[in-house]
Every structure is written in C-alpha cells, then in structure tokens.
A and B are shown apart, each in its own frame.
Chain A
C-alpha cells in the first residue's frame, strides 16, 4: 500500500511516496540519500539511526516512514548552517571523539537534543543522553568530553 506523506527534512518541505512497510530509516537513507543516517542493528539497540523528530531524538529504524507525516526531521546533514561545522561537530573533532564515525551522527543528534533542553547539562545528564548509543571505537570518554565541552562553551 502506497502513501503520499508531507514532511520537512532538514528545513526543506517535501511530499514523498512511501510503502506502508518502509521504515523512516529506509526513507531517509535509501530514498532521500541522507546517508548520514546509519543502520547498525536495525533493532533499536545501537543508536546509529538516531534522528530528531520534532526536536526529540528517536530511532528511525523503529518508526515507519508513514508515521513521519507532518513532522520535522533533522539528520546530521541538516545540523550545520552553511559551510562551517556546528559547535558540536567542532567539539567532536577537537576532542578526537570520531574514529570510524559510524556512531557519530547518532551521538551528535542526541547531544543536540540534550543541549537544546539543558544548555549546561550535568555529567549525569550527558551520560543519560549517551545511554542508548554504542561506539565500538572510542571507548566513550572522548565523546563525553566533546559533549561536555560543547555544553560549557554555550555559557
């Protein structure tokens, strides 16, 4: 069954046709070519597919594309304004929080939602926001420091 849905992706309004059984992850990655959205586990466990839906982090592998009707989606591609990097991206680079980079979009978007809610998060709040994200490379400490640094810069 096909559906025509309206949604906004990275600030751009669009109407797209999707099959009922397509996930939001498949829509964003395969149909719309936002390949910054990664598929790790496909089961909600790893966080690689995290995007912001109406400002809140969600797992795009566990949401149907049709469920995105009338929502605003932000992927990593839409984070930075213009050619520069977003402060969170700069902070990840500076702290060496990126190795293979597969987990990075998910961590950064989850961190953005955290900083939007709590501009100066506590260590506990940072760990909480990272809780559902897996990284096989960095050991997490640099990611934690990158988010913390981005949080304190906003003062």
Chain B
C-alpha cells in the first residue's frame, strides 16, 4: 500500500509549474514505473503527486531544424512505432526493444528514463553517444543543456525542484551514418542491463573520413563517452591490431562498483570491450 498523498493532473504547463512550485517534495508522475516502485518501497515519500500526462506540449516526435525533438512523455512503445527514430536513430530501437517488457514499455516514458538517471538506463548510452540535449522548463522559463551535463550522479540530475524535463533534442547525423546498441543482462527475459554500449559510425565506408563515437552504461555512475577510444579510432583503417588496442584502451580507468548486483567489475570491463567490438563489426560491414 502507498502512503496517502494528493494527486493532481494539470491540463497545461502553467498549472503544472504552479503545482510543482508548492514545495520541493512534489513528485512528478509520468509513466510511474520508477516512481510508484520507489513510493511503495518508501524510498521516496511525497505529499503531492503531479501527473504530467495531460501536458500536450511534452508529447510528439518531430524535426525542428537539424534536431529531432522528442517529447518527454514519449513512451518506449512510441519510440518503437516511430518511423523517424527507426530511420535516423536505429540504436534507440535496439534499446527500446530490450527495455523491460511490453507492459512496461507501454507506460514508461523517455523523460522518466532520463530523469531517473540510473547508470545502466536503456536510453542513457544511446542519448550520450547521439550528443542529445535536453530542454528543461521551470518558473523562470526554459533552459537547454547537453544531456551529459544533465546527469550528475546515480539518480541525480541538474533539475531544480519545480522544474520539468520537456524535450530531448537529438542532432541529425550525417547521411549514411550507422548506429547500434548492445547490452548484456543476467537472464534472457526481463532484466536491467548489466552493461551496455552504444556506438555511432559517421562515414562508415571511407576510413579516412570515418568518425566513431562510443558510450557505455552501467560501468560508472552515469553513462560515459569513451573519448580516448574515439580519438584512437578516428580516420583509421580498422585492423586486428587496432581493435586489440581499442579493447585495452576502453577498459583504462574504468572502475565499475564492486557492489553491483548484476555483474562483477571484471565482467563489465571485459564486456564493454567485447560489445564495442561486436558493434563495430556489425556497423562496418559493407
């Protein structure tokens, strides 16, 4: 049973911000698949729950100049059904397909996944590798920032009390770019990722113009770009020696926490290297 609270479903942004302004303990409810679990376990208490599903401005997927704007209320099933996502950012489809199960994907939102800021969250490494930005709305108006600045630790974000995440902006990739998301989990059924990687390859066919981006999840408090590996692979012919070097470099400085329930640090480090190589092999095939 949940502790008593008041519930409101504001019809527009002004009403939502006014409600959230009533106190720092107000809880935003989107799909509820994280929030209700936490409230039930009593790890989160709130006298006021503000259901934002009536905010039409936080819905929809569409191009705005060179960014695909994805509303915070977009569910994982919406992502799977979006032609724009499928065509331009297939790694998000890879991620949405392994996220939870049908019933969870039906309710769980992208905004909730980003704000929940879990280290291995399904959207984490894909949005990091896509260099997404987030739009945040509060009583003072809107602000924007790179998603890597938005995440500040396990379960911690740059949101101030009273603020909402309204959109995720994903920059268009150059034509011909490819992307993939791979993960390992303990079981083949429903489970969170033990470790995951997201890879984008720009100009896959011509090695001297090729750029490779890599991000990893569940190996650090936040999704992490492997920038040293990216520099090492940039514009290079991919040889077995280079890949061997990559496998070593990507593990450098990684210290996954020992207390993880899902996998040992050694396994995570090894698998980050293996998954990155698998993704590259898949994306660089002619």
Contacts and interface: CB of A to CB of B under 8 A. Distances in A.
Contacts of B103: 44, 47, 50, 57-59, 110, 132
Interface stretch (A9-17, A18-26, A80-88, A89-97): A18-26
Contacts, number: 85
Given A21-B1, A23-B2, A132 B106 contact: no
A16 B112 CA distance: 29
B39 to A, nearest CB: 8
User: Which bucket holds chain B's interface residue count?
Assistant: 20 to 34
A19 B4 contact: yes
Contact of A43 (B40, B51, B102): B40
Contacts of B36: 23, 44, 61-64
Nearest to B7: A20
Contacts of B9: 66, 69
Contact of B7 (A1, A26, A57): A1
B3 A131 contact: no
A153 interface: no
A67 interface: yes
Interface of A: 1, 3, 19-23, 26, 42-45, 47, 50, 56-59, 61-64, 66-67, 69, 110, 113, 128-129, 131-133
Given A23-B36, A57-B102, 12 more contacts: A1-B4, A1-B5, A21-B2, A21-B3, A26-B1, A44-B104, A56-B77, A56-B106, A57-B103, A59-B107, A63-B32, A64-B51
